[in-house]
Amino acid sequence: MSSNDEGPRPVTRRIYPTESSWCRAVPGGTGVTTLSLLIKNNTPHLHIQSALRRLQTNHPILRATLNPTTSTFIIPPLSSLTLHSSSSESPFHSLVEQELNLNPWNSNAAVGVGVGVDVMHATIYDHGNGSSTLVIKLHTAACDRTAAVQLVKELMHIVVTNNNSHDADVDVDVDVDGDVGLGIEEYVPDISKPFWARGIDMLGYSLNSFRLSNFNFLDPVSHPSSRLVRLMLDAPHTSMLLQGCKRRGIKLCGALSAAGLIAARLAKGLSDGDWEKYAVVTLIDCRKLLEPPLSNHHIGFYHSAILNTHDMCGGEELWGLATRTYKSFENAKKSNKHFSDMADLNFLMCKAIENPGLTPSSSMRTSFISVFEDPVVDETNEKYEQLGVEDYMGCASVHGVGPSVAVFDTIRDGKLDCACVYPFPLHSREQMQELIDKMKNILIHCLSSENEC
């Protein structure tokens, strides 16, 4: 038989530097992305599996296997995803935490020679009361937060359309990229950074890291895992918060990071006048800033980060600190640091993974808090109702290299809903719940009292 008769062959695509950094991070526990839906609807499992395979057809990178040792994605011509099923009486919150810590990429297959590991996995848990939890797990190198949100929208569109048509294989009209795509480095505008400037910045990042304050570490020795606490505001408070940000020319990320910084100091019981320096990482979806610009349907990792440090001496007021933190981020972005410092931050992240002793208490903490420049604004309510979705959460693990708390913010039905993921037992649930409660109280006090906080 000639080679022309063998049918389509797998496509090989090399792993780019930013993706490679995530390949280093994920086996250690940072970057396991989970999309979890609590469904009060007996949608047949075959319909869901068919929809997931359709996603992999629409976005080939999702059916890839990843092998960091050969620095390649291997994309087969057809999807073969299997939706695993299980029974569980655990509540939704517990299942999300459980899945954050079931890491298919920490095995020898993920870091060894030869066999690659799928970048996408899916499990459905039947609760025995007519409801179930669907969890889609993705390797962050192949799917960032923007891509994950897009996938949920497409999935619900496919499932709802199929249910209404009583045919799991019906074709539906969804936006697709249909291409494997390249790494973010191939689309970054030409922004040169002189060798000496890069050296100075690297030195600055390194020296600053030794001066940073951290949220108190409780147990940096025991085996780590990721856990989460939710920060939720009702619709009136959410509206007031967004309006307050708009009046001051800042974004929600500024208010969230400021509330976190103030809450951290309060939790530590420090006196006013005691100076501390905290690091905030702000993640940016770069799709619209690339050349050429990419759409949200372009699945892959296209985020970058800006790291800013902020001095705190106590007595800070929310809006003043929010404006300061956001303007620092905005100025750095205007200076293109999200592109010019991309390689530097990737390098430092990998060094922290290789040498945890370079970080405080070998904790691998690179900042106190991480936030996204823009929240997810959820406009899929009608599809949620049709599919019977009662709750939904999207977040990623952070117990390898990363912040003390990573905030994944969503505005759904006009209400703020943040999944705040943290490394356990480096921080305890009680400690983190206290922090998040303080953040919420700080936000509500400023809004409800109408003080110029």
pLDDT, tens digit (0-9, with 9 covering 90-100), for 261-272: 999 999 998 888
- pLDDT digit string (tens) for 140-169? 999 999 999 999 999 988 988 876 654 444
Cα gap 68→260, rounded to integer Å: 35
The answer on pLDDT for 107 being more than 90 is no
Q: Burial code of 199-216, b = ≥16 C-beta within 10 A, e = fewer?
A: eebbeebeeebeebbbbe
Q: How confident is the model at residue 2 (pLDDT cuts 50, 70, 90)?
A: very low
Lowest-pLDDT range of 28-42, 159-173, 282-296, 370-384? 159-173
Provide the pLDDT for residue 170. Answer: 39
Percent of the chain at pLDDT exceeding 90: 70
The CATH architecture that domain 185-378+398-449 belongs to is 2-Layer Sandwich (3.30)
Q: Which one is predicted more confidently, 384 or 121?
A: 121
The answer on pLDDT for 3 being more than 70 is no
What residue type is assigned to position 139 of the chain? H
Provide the pLDDT for residue 177. Answer: 56
* Residues of each domain in the chain carrying CATH 3.30.559.10: 3-182
Nearest to 307 by CA among 325, 292, 291: 325
The rounded radius of gyration (Å) of the Cα atoms in the chain is 22
The answer on pLDDT for 20 being more than 60 is yes
The answer on pLDDT for 359 being more than 50 is yes
Q: Which one is predicted more confidently, 166 or 362?
A: 362
Provide the pLDDT for residue 54. Answer: 95
For all residues of the chain together, what is the average pLDDT? Answer: 88
The answer on pLDDT for 388 being more than 50 is yes
Q: How confident is the model at residue 207 (pLDDT cuts 50, 70, 90)?
A: low
Q: Which residue has the tokens 């655990």?
A: 90
Provide the pLDDT for residue 109. Answer: 42
> Helix, strand, or coil here: 415?
strand
- pLDDT digit string (tens) for 71-81? 899 999 999 89
Query: Are the beta carbons of 401 and 358 closer than 8 angstroms?
Result: no
Give the distance, in angstroms, between the CA of residue 74 and the centroid of all CA atoms in the same chain: 24
The answer on pLDDT for 236 being more than 70 is yes
Q: What mean pLDDT comes out for the span 93-119?
A: 78
Q: How confident is the model at residue 58 (pLDDT cuts 50, 70, 90)?
A: very high
Provide the pLDDT for residue 110. Answer: 45
Lowest-pLDDT range of 31-45, 207-221, 235-249, 342-356? 207-221
The answer on pLDDT for 193 being more than 70 is no
Percent of the chain at pLDDT exceeding 70: 87
Most confident option among 35-44, 255-264, 349-358: 255-264
Q: What mean pLDDT comes out for the span 376-401?
A: 88
Most confident option among 3-7, 59-63, 165-169: 59-63
Provide the pLDDT for residue 211. Answer: 77
Structure tokens at 405: 């708390």
Provide the pLDDT for residue 63. Answer: 95
- pLDDT digit string (tens) for 271-295? 888 889 999 999 999 999 999 999 9
Structure tokens at 423: 């490394």
Nearest to 281 by CA among 406, 409, 411: 406
The answer on pLDDT for 235 being more than 60 is yes
Q: How confident is the model at residue 62 (pLDDT cuts 50, 70, 90)?
A: very high
Q: Is 385 exposed, middle or buried (0-12, 13-18, 19+ CB in 10 A)?
A: exposed
3-182 is classed CATH 3.40.50.300? no
Provide the pLDDT for residue 453. Answer: 57
* Residues of each domain in the chain carrying CATH 3.30.559.30: 185-378+398-449
